[in-house]
Amino acid sequence: MAASRRRSTKAQTDTAPAQAVSSEELLHYYREMLLIRRFEEKAGQLYGMGLIGGFCHLYIGQEAVVVGVQAALKQGDTVITSYRDHGHMLACGMEAKGVMAELTGRIGGYSKGKGGSMHMFSREKNFYGGHGIVGGQVPLGTGLAFAHKYLNDGGVSAVYCGDGAINQGQVYESFNMAALWKLPVLFVIENNKYAMGTSQERASAGELHQRGAAYGIPGYQVNGMDVLEVKEAADKWVNYIREGNGPVILEMKTYRYRGHSMSDPAKYRTKEEVEKMRSESDPIDQLKSKLLAGGHADEDKLKEIDRAVKAIVTESAEFAQQSPEPDPSELWTDILVET
Amino acid sequence: MPIEVLMPALSPTMTEGKLAKWVKKEGDTVKSGDVLAEIETDKATMEVEAVDEGRVGKILVPEGTDNVAVNTPIAVLLEEGEDESALSKGGNAPAVAAPANAAPASEETKAAPSAVQAPAPAPTVPAAPASAPDSDEDKFFAKTVKKTVREALRDAMAEEMRRDEKVFVMGEEVAQYQGAYKVTQGLLQEFGERRVIDTPITEIGFAGLGVGASFKGLKPIVEFMTFNFAMQAIDHIINSAAKTLYMSGGQMGSPIVFRGPNGAAARVAAQHSQCYASWYAHCPGLKVVSPWSAADAKGLLKAAIRDPNPVVFLENEILYGQSFEVPEDEEFVLPIGKAKIERAGKDVTITAFSIMVGHALAAAEELAKEGIDAEVINLRTIRPLDTATIVNSVKKTNRLVSVEEGWPFAGIGSEMCALMMEQAFDYLDAPVARVAGLDVPMPYAANLEKLALPQVADIVKAAKQACYR
């Protein structure tokens, strides 16, 4: 049954959504994607200066996915992802300063410098991490969906994972329970084609969006390089989920320009492949063209947004260096809730 | 102002590298994202992308240079409208000011995002866990009723589910089947399928799901049919439940109970007979409880459900059918972190938990016949360990025998030895003795299984040795 429901959501995107979506919304997506891009570039730079340590996985190239999906969520919905998480935090409305200061391991970071790039959370913004074990966030996010249903709060859980995580067994344990109990969960597979250095072709049999078919979970492939196509698909399926129909899988075809982490030279793909994606499919450039062609904004307006975004990122980098390191006493806090 | 481009660190371990190749030359325009140069790190050759826009004004380190230290200026970028004359002005602003140890300033602390709280004062040296409040359990024993451990566990869950709508129980066969060991008997009938949930056989899945639900404020009781199967789920017990409070800087904890039978049952062989006490007790962020009597089971499980932290609750299948006096009062709750002296004595201290408490008490009776007065401590909680009660006892008896069903290597007995070295060395009159399961996978044959598990006679022998008798 599920196989017959396979359907591409690509069709009308070039014309229909551009008309349906207001200029204000389009500019919002542009700003959000640009903020993530500039933030990540700055994070890469600070890493290069030794200010950020350990693992640091940048989201550059994938911005349309999280910005499009978040645009379809409502206040009270919950979000969880893996360790390539900076973009998700910014899209959830978490402050760039707090995220950057966490990357530099300072007290002003969201986890007081104790979590780092892979482990940040915000109860206020309903962002539940930031998880470092590949696939681990999928049952956790299914549990958030369970809580939405148990509490009958009308919320939806958005669970992001990559094309690498999709081969972990616990993902299928989660699919099974989510379908069995009709939990309000949107599984977003961010397929950037490479699980670290292993391409999808070398790691995954079959189509990823069909991975829920045996459980009767509808699954669709979406052009994850186009924020409007992402938004359109997310809108449709988040509503379907919110109406109590159970989980949906959206496979976002996307691409990361940088290595898996900062120390990955990305020799497993050609420069031409990366260059082709950047020049032909960049999510920010595509939206910029649409904004200009559709008369939603002029160059001056976009430059103004660029400057505003740059100011936020510069401020976050300054804050991230000025905020003190955590006091040694922080070693011993937050291990247990005191009773 | 011209921008200095610094030699980047491109891996967590890189301190210097080779500037292999300049992709951009002096005079070239640069957009953010353009590849500037190729650099050989200790691991690989990497491309360096520009972050800022401008024109390459001057290359400071020629290509082919080895051993360029991280953060050395390697080029200068001119911004829009600047020409080469700007290069001579000096005082180039580095792309980002070098970090070093930025001086903590109170103004900056105030500028922290609202989501982040100022650090709370905390001890500057590692401290032993604060001692739990003394148990006020005696007063509750004025009025008791005889119950099996199984019934006591069920009553604890039922009472806490009546008390708090956020408590629910999930696991394999907990609902319609009434519990694989009948521990959840009657709960489905009283609380319905919303709160008593049969799961598929999917340990890592439902353990992770439970932890996720707890992040959102629910209070799951996750039953493992036995803890042997929780090895499938241990990633979520430790990486997700135990560590998230710390990783989130205190924002998000996991109020969850993982419970089920632990250790050897009878004749179920190696894969179904293992004690996990030392595995879980190793991990900060978890509490680990292991009751012996029905009163322990009830009072401690209620405490575990009320606790805002993840609690691993290790039961014992053989004990499920044993009966003990249990206080009738629903407010009977035992403190986690407090051991109980089950039998006072002056000659030797015997520590034990779970089913081994019964063995230790039986051993004490045997020892009494030979004139040795043993003190038996029921640990009740493994983490945080009630070190004060143990140390105080040894100060009196000067001898310690640790009893556990699990393997000896890095076991709870090993921890007892370390505790004695650190806190009671001068009080010891004999080496600490460890009575533990033998260092072998559990055999099936009845005679071998018996040999592999600590018996009363083993405890008697160890205690006599400690007393040089």
Q: What is the CATH number of the domain that holds A224?
A: 3.40.50.970
Nearest-CA distance from B201 to chain A in Å? 9
* Per-residue confidence band for A14, with pLDDT thresholds at 50, 70 and 90: very low
pLDDT score, position A106: 98
User: Looking at the complex, does the CB of residue A152 fall below 8 Å from at least one CB of chain B?
Assistant: no
Calculate mean pLDDT across residues A77-98. 98
User: Looking at the complex, does the CB of residue A97 fall below 8 Å from at least one CB of chain B?
Assistant: yes
* Strand, helix or coil for residue B331: coil
Nearest-angstrom CA–CA distance, A317 and A39: 9
Contact between residue A55 and residue A9 where contact means Cβ atoms under 8 Å apart: no
pLDDT score, position A312: 98
> A127: which residues sit within 8 A by CB, 6+ positions away?
A78, A79, A80, A88, A89, A92, A94, A120, A121
Nearest-angstrom CA–CA distance, A190 and A161: 6
> B463: which residues sit within 8 A by CB, 6+ positions away?
B348, B350, B363, B367, B372, B374, B399, B401, B433
> Smallest Cβ distance to A114: which of B102, B127, B246?
B246
pLDDT score, position B413: 98
| DSSP conformation letters of A186-222 | EEEEEE-SEETTEEHHHH--S-GGGTTGGGT--EEEE
pLDDT score, position A12: 37
Contact between residue B241 and residue A336 where contact means Cβ atoms under 8 Å apart: no
| DSSP conformation letters of A110-170 | TTTTSS-TT---BTTTTEEEE--STTTHHHHHHHHHHHHHHHT----EEEEEETTGGGSHH
Nearest-angstrom CA–CA distance, B314 and B307: 16
Nearest to B179 by CA among B162, B158, B208: B158
* Strand, helix or coil for residue B447: helix
Please say whether the structural domain B340-466 has been given the CATH code 3.40.50.920: yes
Share of chain A above pLDDT 90, in %: 90
Residue of A nearest to B207 (CA): A139
The position carrying tokens 């292999």 is: B20
Nearest-CA distance from A53 to chain B in Å? 6
Nearest-CA distance from B170 to chain A in Å? 12
Tokens for A15?
A: 């014309």
pLDDT score, position B353: 98
| DSSP conformation letters of A276-308 | HHHHHH-HHHHHHHHHHHTTS--HHHHHHHHHH
Residue A325 lies inside a defined structural domain of this protein = no
Burial of B90 (0-12, 13-18, 19+ CB in 10 A): exposed
Cα-trace Rg, chain A:
19
Nearest to A195 by CA among A256, A139, A147, A143: A256
Residues of B annotated as catalytic are 203, 272
Residue of A nearest to B307 (CA): A339
Q: Please report how the helices A63-70 and A227-240 are oriented relative to each other, as an axis angle in degrees rounded to 10.
A: 40
Nearest-angstrom CA–CA distance, A204 and A217: 19
Tokens for B462?
A: 């160890």
pLDDT score, position B131: 62
* Residues of chain A contacting B115 with CB distance shorter than 8 Å: 94-95, 98, 110, 122, 124-125
Contact between residue B141 and residue B327 where contact means Cβ atoms under 8 Å apart: yes
Best residue of A114, A140, A303, A323 to probe chain B, by most B CBs closer than 10 Å? A140
Answer yes or no: is pLDDT of A77 > 60: yes
Nearest to A67 by CA among A237, A259, A230: A230
Structural domains in chain A (count): 1
Question: Does B8 contact A48 at a Cβ distance shorter than 8 Å?
Answer: yes
Residue A103 lies inside a defined structural domain of this protein = yes
Q: Which domain holds residue A290?
A: 3-319
One-letter amino acid at B163 equals: R
A291-328 pLDDT, tens per residue?
A: 999 999 999 999 999 999 999 999 999 999 999 999 99
Tokens for A66?
A: 């999280």
* Residues of chain A contacting B246 with CB distance shorter than 8 Å: 114, 334-335
> Smallest Cβ distance to A336: which of B47, B117, B309?
B309
Q: What is the pLDDT along chain B (469 residues), one digit of tens a residue?
A: 788 888 888 877 888 899 999 999 999 998 877 889 998 887 778 888 887 788 999 999 999 999 999 889 999 989 877 877 777 654 444 454 333 333 333 433 344 444 444 444 444 444 444 567 788 899 999 999 999 999 999 999 999 999 999 999 999 999 999 999 999 999 999 999 999 999 999 999 999 999 999 999 999 999 999 999 999 999 999 999 999 999 999 999 999 999 999 999 999 999 999 999 999 999 999 999 999 999 999 999 999 999 999 999 999 999 999 999 999 999 999 999 999 999 999 999 999 999 999 999 999 999 999 999 999 999 999 999 999 999 999 999 999 999 999 999 999 999 999 999 999 999 999 999 999 999 999 999 999 999 999 999 999 999 999 999 9
Residue A264 lies inside a defined structural domain of this protein = yes
Calculate mean pLDDT across residues A44-64. 94
Residue A194 lies inside a defined structural domain of this protein = yes
Contact between residue B112 and residue B118 where contact means Cβ atoms under 8 Å apart: yes
pLDDT score, position B162: 98
Q: Is the peptide bond before B384 cis (omega within 30 degrees of 0)?
A: yes
* Residues of chain A contacting B336 with CB distance shorter than 8 Å: 339
Q: Which CATH class is domain B3-94?
A: mainly beta
* Fold topology of B137-327: Rossmann fold (3.40.50)
Residue A333 lies inside a defined structural domain of this protein = no
pLDDT score, position A331: 96
Torsion of CA B378, B382, B383, B388, to 10 degrees: 40
Residue A324 lies inside a defined structural domain of this protein = no
Contact between residue A134 and residue A82 where contact means Cβ atoms under 8 Å apart: yes
Tokens for B103?
A: 């001086």
Cα B408 → chain centroid: 20
The string over B430-442, giving b where at least 16 C-beta atoms fall within 10 Å of a residue's C-beta and e elsewhere, is eebbbbbbeeeeb
Torsion of CA B406, B393, B337, B131, to 10 degrees: -140
Nearest-angstrom CA–CA distance, B357 and B379: 9
Q: Where in chain B is the domain with CATH 3.40.50.920?
A: 340-466
| DSSP conformation letters of B424-435 | SGGG-SS--EEE
If phi over 0 gives left and psi between -120 and 50 gives alpha, with beta otherwise, what is residue B223?
beta
> Smallest Cβ distance to A143: which of B7, B8, B212?
B212
List strand residue ranges (DSSP E) for B154-307, in order.
167-171, 196-198, 219-223, 257-261, 287-289
Check if the interface score ipTM surpasses 0.90: yes
Within 13 A of B154's CA, how many CA atoms are on the CB side?
23
pLDDT score, position B121: 45
Question: Does A112 contact B307 at a Cβ distance shorter than 8 Å?
Answer: no
pLDDT score, position B89: 58
Residue A94 lies inside a defined structural domain of this protein = yes
Contact between residue A71 and residue A290 where contact means Cβ atoms under 8 Å apart: no
> Smallest Cβ distance to B202: which of A51, A130, A176?
A176
Phi, psi at A131, each rounded to 5°: -130, 140
